Amino acid sequence: MDAILKVCGLAKNYGDFQLKDVSFELAPGSIMGFIGENGAGKSTTIKAILNIISRDGGSVEIFGMDSQSDDKQIKEQIGVVFEECCFHDVFSTDDINKIMANIYCSWDANLFKKYCHDFKLPDKKRVKEYSRGMKMKLSIAAALSHRPRLLILDEATSGLDPVVREEMLDIFDDFVNDEQHAILLSSHITSDLDKISGSITFIHNGEIIFSKGRIDLLSQLRVLRCDEADFVSLQKLYAHHMLRYRKGTQGYDVLVENFEMIKSQRPELIIDSVNIEEIMLFYARGKRLRGN
Amino acid sequence: MKGLIIKDFLNMKRYLRNVLIILVVYFGIFIPSHNFNVLIGVVMIMCSMLVITSISYDDAAKWDKFALTMPLTKRDIVLAKYMLALVFIFGGALITIIVLFATGLVIDTIPLMEILSLVAVMFALGLIFESLILPLIFKYGVERARLLMILCLLVPSGLVVLGATAFGDKISPQAEQFLPLAAIVFAVIIFYISYRISRRIYDYKDF
């Protein structure tokens, strides 16, 4: 099936910061974790995808349509949640229902009420009286009530307590049970992505470092722990498989691919599995070997 | 766009109620003293400020960034604010006319025709004030544009006073009748040009 979201060569130049040739594809029925440290370009990419900011190059296709020429049609089918709740403080759920019904053609007022009820959002209280978790649930209820096909969540789970985060992740999981749906979830809380994402796209300094299936990524990569002498000898043999390294007080941690080969030839070496956070740290803070 | 205007009214419901109470107080103070110039001026200034308040509420909620994820264009957002400005100023003018004409039925010393011309000129001034301030707000944000707000109020008013002093005697009474209408036509044209400028500014705005 065609990709729900296809980003191709996206560029944006702010002078001191650039998005460079950002490209990735989001398949139907999947959740993509969009990771990177603060300031790496996650929000800029999302804003450029949504035409909130102008872009300097590249193209974005959503549901097979061009994001700029079919902007309104596309946005009828997208739900977006930002880190902060963007509804005004004085609004009640009824107010939001009235406003959104006049913005989205496909707004389902009863569905919104059902979400508010399911999320235990009080209909008498105003947004300013909501807790952070309630605000986030409200934003998600609003993002889902026009039955979107694509959800874009920009740091939406950051700052939530683990219980609410878990609830949110269940909702996202339910959402992509429909094969026509997909989620782009930007986060720097990588443990959330370990739980639900099908693929991971990693952005660093405005450039995509990789965009791969999570299982593939975790099965291909390992962290090799060694002392300086081993590190020097390994470089001569396996330099091409040593992606990044970090020097610590205990020796060297090296992010490696093709670890089976290294393991078979050097069985005494410690090779551990790696999680998304460690991979992110290797790319963001680790060093490359010379020549790689 | 209808949704955006409903949003502003729901958001400002309580604020608008307070503004209405203040208007009642102003009417109570200025009508008995027959100080209609000041009354109409104050009402129009209050009504002109309302759209600015609505924009500062939007800024505080980071609403615009969110609104642009919805099936709304940047053009819709700018147009909604201009429509809102128009609704508030027109509303202010209408309330003033209704109240003063209603009072005129009881107290026959109220110069109704003079008031009508005065409201028309103030309405035009209100539109010109919005035409000057809105592009500045879209460009610099409410906080930074606030410094220029007094300037936007004083310059058009000052020009009217200067114009009246310089040419007041030279205008024939027949031509004078058409002055308020001419002022409104002129203001509407400026208002439209301002809308086009704001649209362009907003197109290039980053969020």
Q: Do A102 and B72 touch (CB under 8 A)?
A: no
Per-residue pLDDT at A13: 93
Backbone phi and psi for residue B164, each to the nearest 5 degrees, phi listed first:
-65, -40
Report the alpha-carbon angle A87-A88-A93, nearest 5.
65
Is the pLDDT score of B207 beyond 90? no
Q: What does the pLDDT average to over B66-85?
A: 96
DSSP letters spanning A84-112 = S--S-TT--HHHHHHHHHTT-TT--HHHH
Identify which has the larger pLDDT, A189 or B184.
B184
- The highest-confidence range among A220-224, A282-286, B75-79, B170-174, by mean pLDDT, is B75-79
Contacts of B202 in chain A (CB under 8 A): none
Is the pLDDT score of B101 beyond 90? no
Per-residue pLDDT at A66: 95
Per-residue pLDDT at B78: 97
Q: What does the pLDDT average to over B73-79?
A: 95
Per-residue pLDDT at A161: 81
Q: Which of B10, B58, B206 sits opposite A99 (nearest CB)?
A: B10
Q: Which of B6, B65, B71 sits opposite A104 (nearest CB)?
A: B71
- Chain A to chain B, count of Cβ pairs less than 8 Å apart? 75
Q: Which among A33, A37, A8, A25 has a CA at the least distance from the CA of A283?
A: A37
Per-residue pLDDT at B36: 85
Per-residue pLDDT at A180: 92
Q: What does the pLDDT average to over B72-78?
A: 95
Domain boundaries, chain A: 5-217, 219-285
Contacts of B71 in chain A (CB under 8 A): 71-73, 75-76, 103-105
Identify which has the larger pLDDT, A236 or B134.
B134
Q: Do B68 and A50 touch (CB under 8 A)?
A: yes
- Number of structural domains (chain B) is 1
Task: Search chain B and give the residue with CA nearest A142.
Answer: B70
Please state the pTM of the whole predicted model.
0.88
Does residue A46 sit at the B interface (CB-CB below 8 Å)? no
Residue A287 DSSP symbol: B
- Return the H-helix or E-strand segment holding A21: strand A18-26
C-alpha to C-alpha distance for A143 and A145, rounded to whole angstroms: 6
Q: Do A102 and B6 touch (CB under 8 A)?
A: yes
Give the range of the structural domain holding residue B45, as residue numbers without chain letter.
2-162+171-203
Contacts of B75 in chain A (CB under 8 A): none
Does residue A98 sit at the B interface (CB-CB below 8 Å)? yes
DSSP helix, strand, coil percent of chain A (3-state; round to 5): 35, 30, 35
Q: Do B73 and A72 touch (CB under 8 A)?
A: yes
Does residue A78 sit at the B interface (CB-CB below 8 Å)? yes
What is the CATH code for A5-217? 3.40.50.300
Report the alpha-carbon angle B151-B43-B116, nearest 5.
105
Q: Do B61 and A88 touch (CB under 8 A)?
A: yes
Q: How confident is the model at residue B195 (pLDDT cuts 50, 70, 90)?
A: very high
C-alpha to C-alpha distance for A214 and A225, rounded to whole angstroms: 22
Per-residue pLDDT at B89: 95
Report the alpha-carbon angle A32-A36-A38, nearest 5.
130
DSSP letters spanning B59-81 = HHHTHHHHHTTSS--HHHHHHHH
Is the pLDDT score of B173 beyond 80? no
Q: CA–CA distance from A13 to each of A10, B74, B107 (Å)?
A: 10, 21, 67
Residues A124-129: contacts with CB within 8 Å, 24+ apart? A124/A92, A125/A92, A126/A89, A126/A90, A126/A91, A126/A92, A127/A85, A127/A87, A127/A88, A127/A89, A127/A90, A127/A91, A127/A92, A128/A89, A128/A90
C-alpha to C-alpha distance for B186 and B164, rounded to whole angstroms: 16
Question: Which residues of chain A have a pLDDT value below 50?
Answer: none
Q: Which of residues 110 through 149 in chain A touch B, CB cutoff 8 A? A: none
pLDDT digits (tens, 9 = 90+) for B23-52: 999 988 888 888 888 889 899 999 999 999
pLDDT digits (tens, 9 = 90+) for B8-31: 999 999 999 999 999 999 988 888
What's the mean per-residue pLDDT of chain B?
A: 90
Paired residues of A221 in beta bridges: A257
Per-residue pLDDT at B179: 84
Residues 6 or more apart whose Cβ sits within 8 Å of residue B122: B40, B41, B43, B44, B93
